[in-house]
Structure 1
Amino acid sequence: MSKIIITCAVTGSIHTPSMTPYLPVTADEITEQALGAAEAGAAILHLHARDPQDGRPSADPKHFMAFLPRLKQRCDAVLNITTGGNANMTLAERLAAPLTAEPEMCSLNMGSMNFALYPAIQRITEWKHDWEKPFLENSEDLVFKNTPRDIAQVLTLLGEERGARFEFECYDVGHLYMLRHFADRGLVKPPYFIQFVFGVLGGIGADPENLSHMKRIADKLFGDDYAFSVLAAGRHQIPMATIAAAMGGHVRVGLEDSVYIAKGQLAQSNAEQVTKIREIVERLGRDPATPDEARGLLGLKGADRTAF
């Protein structure tokens, strides 16, 4: 494939405001950074919300609706809403915003896992908010819960009943087999858009040989019925995305996955990371897909069928 879908994950729920002054927190900041990423070449915007008062991850639909309609009015990017939230949220909390918004696309973690963020504490000397350090410390004893029953509920409520398609986030090889299980049950249908996730402590490591292995297993399980994308945490972001692009896959960047643009240098915007990976993939002979081309490749229902 010459067309490559660039996804930008704008803010996420992992990084905290003390890690970088450039992390978008308010609706205005998320809107402007998301628009910048779209202008730079991102066809899909992967979106979380935050409490504008202190930057803490939020599942409140009002925080999502403070920027979703504005983004829809001002760009044609695919707006992909998280169902993952963060590991401290219940499933009902995580689904509140996407059930309200009925987006074209949602992310879906394909299993429960340890989600260890606490090593980041070592790099922070001054804290902006009192919630941040305990949030990171508590991840040493935290499991992100997404059981088969949880996954089936997401697929039914958002997929079958509201027409959303999914970015299936697979943090390890076993998650690919879980996706195959739900395909066999008829709860998901091709084309499958599988996001290989590397470098999160608790998931598979960010090693090129792991990417090759994940692709081999996905080829075995899904044949020609899937497209893969790659995101890698931290310093692995651009190298692993580059390998994915060379292998014919799609890519994801953004401040959710890494706050850096180069070694020791903070990215000042999501657009900066999108611009960097776009230049790389174009040098590899790949053409960034437009939002409408991404919709066609992934079989999305269209922005006119959302509830915002």
Structure 2
Amino acid sequence: MAKKNKTIITCAVTGAIHTPTMSDALPYTYDDIATQAVAAAEAGASILHLHARNPKDGSPSVDTEDFQAFLPRVKQATDAVVNISTGGSLTLSIQDRIKPAKTFSPEMCSMNMGSMNFAFHPLAGRFKEWKFDWEKDYVESSEGNIFRNTFRDIREAAETLAPHDIKFEHECYDVGHLYNLKFCMDLGLFKAPVFIQFIFGILGGIGPEVDNLVFMKRTADRLFGDDYRWSVLGAGGAQMPLAATASQMGGNVRVGLEDSLFIQRGKLAENNAQQVAKIRHIVEELGAEVATPDEAREILGLKGGDRVNF
């Protein structure tokens, strides 16, 4: 009988899109980020995708001091794989964005595979009052954002982080990003098997339809053959439906308050662990098994938690 693949659950704990006004559950203090990350791991997440925030007002941060305040606590309390974002700001340079990964040498970090319009300004119309002064302008101004990830940026990030033996979560927001990744692999910037995060439902990227998931998966099969592993991130209301579909297609899944603030339509999630527990229940009820952190390390070929710098 063939060995069945395990499903890796990634939890993206806080991100850089949502703001404190949008949900009281969104963690932004050091304590809340650490506590929710650990709880998500205990609920079944084998990978924790982490951003930092200013603990005073919840604004996105790439300052290494803000990461240092919670990374050791997460590592001490859980065996989960830590994945540090390199996309923590839509306006900073790639040099600034990769500094946390360069400093802390995690097992994984994200890598956006192309420049794009990356907007969430329609969210501004849902709120009349804001907890902090920065929030409204931050959300509204995303209408003018170009999230820069040029081939030079990608090469610089890959070459700078290569000595750290970090596995990238290649975030692909549209089919062209898959071709960008193939081009970079042909140049020798990334080694197989690569880990691809198919992302659906971000304004500026591909829409959250199952047809698009099938199309992205079929394209990746053609480009990479057996040289890749994959996961699905559905933004907003697409989170659980697309994750459930991906798990049945043999893929891995990502949930978390970075990607959706809700646990079901019209109801805010209480925390990250609630989302992890829900997708774990769905995955297991549909007959799949959830990977442990060490199983995730084996599947993705990670260097191990003993080789990080935190």
* Runs of 5+ consecutive residues of structure 1 not aligned to the other structure: none
Q: How many residues align?
A: 307
Partner of 1:152: 155
Q: How does 1:16-95 map to 2 (within 5 A)?
A: 16-95=19-98
In 2, Cα distance between the equivalents of 1:126 and 1:233?
24
Q: How does 1:1-308 map to 2 (within 5 A)?
A: 1-158=4-161, 160-308=162-310
Identity %: 59
In 2, Cα distance between the equivalents of 1:2 and 1:100?
33
In 2, Cα distance between the equivalents of 1:176 and 1:198?
14
In 2, Cα distance between the equivalents of 1:259 and 1:25?
14
Structure 1 ranges of 4+ moved more than 3 A: none
Q: Is the 8 A contact 1:2 1:285 kept in 2?
A: no
Q: Which amino acid aligns with 1:299?
A: G
Offset of 1:125 from its aligned partner? 2.4
In 2, Cα distance between the equivalents of 1:227 and 1:96?
26
Q: Which amino acid aligns with 2:123?
A: A
In 2, Cα distance between the equivalents of 1:93 and 1:188?
21
Q: Which amino acid aligns with 2:236?
A: G
Q: Structure 2-normalised TM-score? A: 0.98
In 2, Cα distance between the equivalents of 1:152 and 1:299?
21
* Runs of 5+ consecutive residues of structure 2 not aligned to the other structure: none
Offset of 1:236 from its aligned partner? 0.7
Partner SS state of residue 195, structure 1 = strand
Q: Which amino acid aligns with 1:272?
A: Q
Partner SS state of residue 63, structure 1 = helix
In 2, Cα distance between the equivalents of 1:272 and 1:126?
27
Q: Structure 1-normalised TM-score? A: 0.99
Q: Which amino acid aligns with 1:33?
A: Q
